[in-house]
Amino acid sequence: MRLQRHEVPVQETWNLTDLFQTDAEWETARKAVVDQIPQLTAFKGRLGESAGLLLEAISTLEGLMEQLLRVFTYASLKSAQDGSDTENQELMGKAYGLYAQVDAASSFLRSEILLLPEGTVEGWVETHAGLAAYRPFLKKLLADKPYLLHPQTEEALAALGEVLDAPFVIYERAKSSDITCPPVVINGKEIANSLSLYEDDLETSADVNVRRAGYKSFAEGLGQFKNTLAATWATEVKKNIVLAKLKGFPSATDMLLHKQGVTQEPYNNLLDTIRAELAPHMRRYAELRKKVLGLDHLLYCDLEAPLDPEYDPRIGWEEGAKTTLEALSVLGPEYMELMERSIAERWVDRCDNVGKQTGAFCTTPYGSHSYVLMTWTGQARNLFTLAHELGHAGHFELANRNQKLLNTDVSTYFVEAPSTLNEMLLGDKMIREATDPRMKRWVIISLLMTYHHNFVRHLSEGELQRRIYALAEAGEQVTAELLSETKGAILKEFWGDSLELDEAAKLTWLRQPHYYMGLYPYTYSAGLVASTAVAQTIREEGQPAVDRWLEVLKAGSTKTPMELMAMAGLDMSTAAPIKKAVAYVGSLVDELEKLF
């Protein structure tokens, strides 16, 4: 039986009292944000008066946003830890409402700044020391000038923020509160299953019967809501298509990439190059899996099965955290101080309970510390999840320490590089120290799972987005049938005959919330291309490479994503670093074939 949230040992949960001691204290803070909104709107219609007044308005916005993020984060974390709790749902509803209220009240800043005479803001930034600190924020804002709508329209859209965000809220509410998976029965024994238990445990079971029964149960749980969630995603797609047309973008894809600070060239480069060049390596990997596992056919659910069924290393939380931190120590004392605090001060929520959000994430509210959600099941693979999320924590902790709040909004194109680098460092350590050939083999498999997760699973999601947006803009209706057929075609093209494509595999578009986060899925591959290269540089150069990487992390959003990549030593305008990363994956498959 899964525990209720109140039954979970407190040491396995995150410490939300660092944000607010009680819900009542949170409510007081929420009302305080509302009360401070007039301080911001008092600048309405006056931003063109002087550089000093503009600075005062931006500083007021920043102070309000810091408090808002603290309030919103608390509510979202409560919802993530137990979305089935009606009080948590109420808090989340209030938080979304507050966010929309502040967004609407502050929308005039964007419109007024963009409507100032050409060169005004740029000139003020050059001559006013205070405004110079916000140069990156203002430069990014000015890039929106060609797409500015009438101020009243911009304000109306901002006021509708809660409605425009509804597809994501509906999806998450369905996953946390409504979707259930039937229990798995093996040899008369009943095994509990849920979306999180499947992804964190049953999917990687060494027992083919448990794994496939869990997969069937998982697909059955998701499949009951396929039409509802297809309509939810269709609404998200239509929303972006309409907004892109209103703003004057050539397409929704161009609008969403503009938000990331990149163009279609690197976007298509990643999708096309990895899908084409990685497929032969992963098909070899699939054939190896089928042979080693002794299966006459390989299903989608077998892609993460342990290749040595009798070797299933288990590790407790304390030992796992220690191993992970030791692997990250190469990044130096400043970084490690944050990592050690994350464990000692309960930044990580690692339990499983009814209503808990699936998957893993990290959020870092400005002025507080990071919070990581994951589920620790005792599988050694959990180490890589922990390392990944702590990579996000280290990144934003350093960015928040070194930048203004408005200069910490890092593009999703870069954001997965710090997280996957930590996985690379962990893998390097474990391979170096492995005295047992089976352990070395296991670590290589774990690294391949990281590449599978980012270069295959998430990239197939990115390819699905690319195709669905193109179809929708051509007038096609987005339905569950279209989504399943398109996802099936993508999987078939990539895996060929190495994988038996069943109906459950076609439903995997239901697994992730990333479709509601712009063009997020493909960016995992951009981050992993970067981290593959940076890990190699750290191995070769040592401290100088570490020092450069820490400067990248501290830069926040003061650089464009391409500039951050360049600081890390990559030119992502070409396919060269992508091909190099794919070749590394091929070398891992080569090594694994030798070890079996």
Question: Which residue in this structure is represented by tokens 């390989």?
Answer: 298
Question: Which residue in this structure is represented by tokens 């929309």?
Answer: 100
Do the Cβ atoms of 179 and 218 come closer than 8 Å?
no
DSSP of 104-139, one letter per residue?
A: HHHHHHHHHHHHSPTTHHHHHHHH-HHHHTTHHHHH
Cα–Cα dist 518/32, whole Å? 31
Asked whether the predicted pLDDT for residue 217 surpasses 80, the reply is: yes
* 371 sits in which H/E element: strand 371-373
Q: Which pLDDT score is estimated for 399?
A: 98
Strands 348-349 and 371-373: parallel
Per-residue pLDDT, averaged over 517-542, amounts to 95
Q: Which of 82, 107, 111 is nearest to 160 (CA)?
A: 107
Per-residue pLDDT, averaged over 166-190, amounts to 90
Asked whether the predicted pLDDT for residue 458 surpasses 80, the reply is: yes
Per-residue pLDDT, averaged over 531-555, amounts to 96
User: Band of the pLDDT at 196, cuts 50, 70, 90?
Assistant: confident
Per-residue pLDDT, averaged over 273-300, amounts to 96
pTM of the model: 0.88
* Burial bucket for residue 294 (CB in 10 Å: 0-12, 13-18, 19+): exposed
- Reported as a single tens digit per residue, the pLDDT across 547-577 is 999 999 999 999 999 999 999 988 998 899 9
Cα–Cα dist 338/496, whole Å? 44
Question: What are 349's strand-pairing partners?
Answer: 373
Cα–Cα dist 462/113, whole Å? 34
DSSP of 188-221, one letter per residue?
A: TEEE---HHHHHHTGGG-S-HHHHHHHHHHHHHH
- CA angle 504/184/315 to nearest 5° reads 95
Total Cβ atoms within 10 A of residue 508: 21
Q: Which pLDDT score is estimated for 101?
A: 94
- Reported as a single tens digit per residue, the pLDDT across 181-191 is 999 999 889 98
* Burial bucket for residue 332 (CB in 10 Å: 0-12, 13-18, 19+): middle
- Reported as a single tens digit per residue, the pLDDT across 396-407 is 999 999 999 999
User: Band of the pLDDT at 248, cuts 50, 70, 90?
Assistant: very high
Total Cβ atoms within 10 A of residue 235: 16
Do the Cβ atoms of 461 and 512 come closer than 8 Å?
yes
Question: Which residue in this structure is represented by tokens 């509804």?
Answer: 166
Q: Which residues are CB-neighbours of 184 under 8 A, at least 6 positions away? A: 190, 191, 192, 193, 202, 210, 213, 214, 217
Do the Cβ atoms of 349 and 14 come closer than 8 Å?
yes
Q: Which pLDDT score is estimated for 124?
A: 97
